[in-house]
Amino acid sequence: MAESELPFAAKYAKHNSYTCRAHDCWGGTVYKDDLCMSVTAQYPLGGVGPNWYHFDCFWKVVEGEVKSTDDIANFDDLRLDDQEKIRGCISTGGTTKNKVTFLRAFNVEYARSNRSSCRVCCKKIDKDKVRVGFNWYGITPGGEPCSNVLWYHPDCFLVPGVLAEVGWKDAYSVEMILGFEQLQPKDRKTLTEKFQAKQKAKESVGEPDATKSPKESTRKKKSSRKQKAKESVDEPDAKKSPKESTRKKKSSSKRKAKKSIDEPNAKKTKAVDEEKE
């Protein structure tokens, strides 16, 4: 049955052009291959069509209005695990069981081919190997929006410079990356251990916040080195012995005494010269 003939619909986004219609998520992008759901609505200028939402946002909007899977178009085309997820939401009155806030700018999956390359090491990512993606958005010289997914090996993604570049924050966790739950248990465990090990290593060496750019970190390091160099120049040389310091003081005292003697003599000579004139 067509989507417009049923009050609700569900499908996997075919591209990144969908925007979530929820008021607290207005303009939020529904990313490609995400499970999204819609409510059939009357358009202001006439006609009927779907308003699309993120999966979690949809259940907040409908507030228990979905009574059966028969009211959802394309339900039979979904994966079995997603069908069960929807049934669970219907049975609980629209409450999603997943309380994790997902990071929609990141995703993790098994490489679908060996054509993708790692952004850091530039090596090919083998098919069926775990890869971490960052959804990049920009503007073309002509002003048109454009997007791309930057792929990384997990180890390459965890390089501090990369984490800063993609805006990874210390409050994030690997469980918040889209697609994490779809990985095999052993791969989820491996990826979790890698992220935890990275966090512990960062805390032990005191790495800068990942949200700061590499340029900012470099400028701070240079400024710190300059300050230390300045302090080392301004401070007295600690290696000099007390005898050297004493000799310097005596020499300074002699110069002052000599100067005090020479000044009156100079005045007398000047006075005598004036009398002769």
Confidence label for 151 from pLDDT (cuts 50, 70 and 90): very high
What does the radius of gyration of the chain's CA atoms come to, in whole angstroms? 36
Q: Report the pLDDT value the prediction gives residue 146, as an integer from 0 to 100.
A: 74
pTM comes to 0.45
Q: Which of 127, 102, 100 is nearest to 114 (CA)?
A: 127
Residue 53 three-state SS? strand
Lowest model confidence (mean pLDDT) among 3-7, 44-48, 93-97, 134-138:
93-97
Query: Which amino acid type is present at position 17?
Result: S
Q: How far apart are CA 67 and CA 62, in angstroms?
A: 11
* 252 exposure class (CB count in 10 Å sphere: 0-12, 13-18, 19+): exposed
Q: How far apart are CA 213 and CA 249, in angstroms?
A: 51
Maximum average pLDDT range among 56-65, 94-103, 195-204, 253-262:
56-65
Q: Has domain 3-91 been given CATH number 3.30.750.200?
A: no
CA angle 164, 186, 89 (to 5 degrees): 85
Residue 230 three-state SS? helix
Position 32 pLDDT exceeds 60: yes
| Domain range summary for the chain, segments of one domain joined by + | 3-91, 103-217
The superfamily CATH assigns to domain 103-217 is Zinc finger, PARP-type (3.30.1740.10)
Position 147 pLDDT exceeds 50: yes
**DSSP conformation letters of 231-259:** HHHHS--TTS-HHHHHHHHHHHHHHHHHH
Per CATH, 3-91 and 103-217 having the same topology is answered yes
For residue 146, report the phi and psi dihedrals to the nearest 5 degrees. -140, 160
User: Chain-wide mean pLDDT for the chain?
Assistant: 77
Q: Report the pLDDT value the prediction gives residue 22, as an integer from 0 to 100.
A: 77
